């Protein structure tokens, strides 16, 4: 019997079915992978926000153009602490990033380049310069007093007052971009102020 050299290239309808099944399986696997990626993206988006630093109000801690990961669940299960860097809705169009200085019930006093909370001087190695303004505030319930680390170039609570705790998006955790500026944003112990 003489073999047809083209026999392997000729397919019968029965030989075509396995190839169609494997193509269909591959399509289903790709579709499942894409669906899982979309679900994971939205789950992560519920917990983590990505924020771009737009101005100089948090210098030297945060530089304009840096991207920060924000833990949106930080205050669902925990309390605000002095020294936290928070992102909050300032208006419907704008989010701000500032440092928590005063908690509800705190007495804030700024004078002679010093910030005091409940008569205790803050230890603030992270600021760019001592504040050149004076004032005193009592933080109302469910509100926070926030300042930028670039004290003299920041629009913050010393100008426009308190922020409502409900306006807080979350706590800034990590600068992740650009890579050479990667840093974990730790919360310094700035004061153990009595309420």
Q: Comparing C-alpha atoms, which of 45, 156, 12 is closest to residue 96?
A: 156
Confidence band of 26 (pLDDT split at 50, 70, 90) = confident
Global pTM reads: 0.77
Which residue bears the tokens 């050479």?
180
Per the DSSP assignment, residues forming a β-bridge with 137 are 108
Confidence band of 47 (pLDDT split at 50, 70, 90) = confident
Residue positions annotated with a catalytic role? 57, 98
Sequence ranges of the domains in the chain? 47-184
CA distances (Å), origin 126, targets 39, 86, 109, 129, 187 = 39, 15, 19, 9, 11
Compute the average pLDDT of residues 104-117. Answer: 96
pLDDT tens-place string over residues 126-138: 999 999 999 999 9
pLDDT tens-place string over residues 85-99: 999 998 878 899 999
Per the DSSP assignment, residues forming a β-bridge with 184 are 174
Which residue bears the tokens 């705790």?
165
CA pair distance 132, 52, nearest whole angstrom = 28
pLDDT tens-place string over residues 50-70: 999 999 999 999 999 999 999
CATH of 47-184, one of 1.10.10.10, 2.60.40.1180, 2.10.109.10, 3.40.190.10: 2.10.109.10
Indicate the SS3 state at residue 53. Answer: coil
User: Would you tell me how many other CB atoms lie within 10 Å of the CB of residue 54?
Assistant: 13
DSSP state of 75: T
CA pair distance 174, 49, nearest whole angstrom = 11
Confidence band of 10 (pLDDT split at 50, 70, 90) = low
Region for 120 from its dihedrals, namely left if φ exceeds 0, alpha if ψ lies in -120 to 50, beta otherwise:
beta
């Amino acid at each position: 019997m003489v073999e047809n050299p083209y026999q392997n290239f000729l397919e019968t309808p029965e030989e075509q079915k396995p190839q169609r099944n494997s193509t269909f399986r591959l399509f289903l696997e790709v579709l499942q992978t894409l669906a899982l990626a979309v679900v994971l993206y939205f789950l992560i988006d519920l917990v983590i926000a990505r924020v771009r630093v737009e101005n100089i109000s948090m210098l030297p801690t945060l530089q304009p153009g840096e991207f920060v990961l924000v833990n949106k669940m930080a205050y669902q299960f925990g309390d605000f602490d002095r020294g936290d860097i928070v992102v909050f809705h300032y208006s419907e169009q704008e989010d701000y990033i500032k440092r928590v200085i005063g908690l509800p019930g705190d007495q804030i006093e700024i004078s002679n380049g010093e910030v005091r909370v409940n008569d205790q001087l803050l230890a603030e190695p992270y600021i760019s310069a001592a504040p050149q303004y004076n004032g005193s505030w009592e933080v109302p319930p469910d509100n926070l007093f926030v300042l930028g680390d670039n004290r003299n170039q920041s629009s913050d609570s010393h100008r426009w007052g308190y922020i409502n705790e409900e306006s807080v998006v979350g706590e800034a955790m990590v600068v992740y971009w650009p890579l050479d500026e990667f840093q974990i944003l730790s919360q310094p112990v700035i004061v153990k102020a009595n309420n």
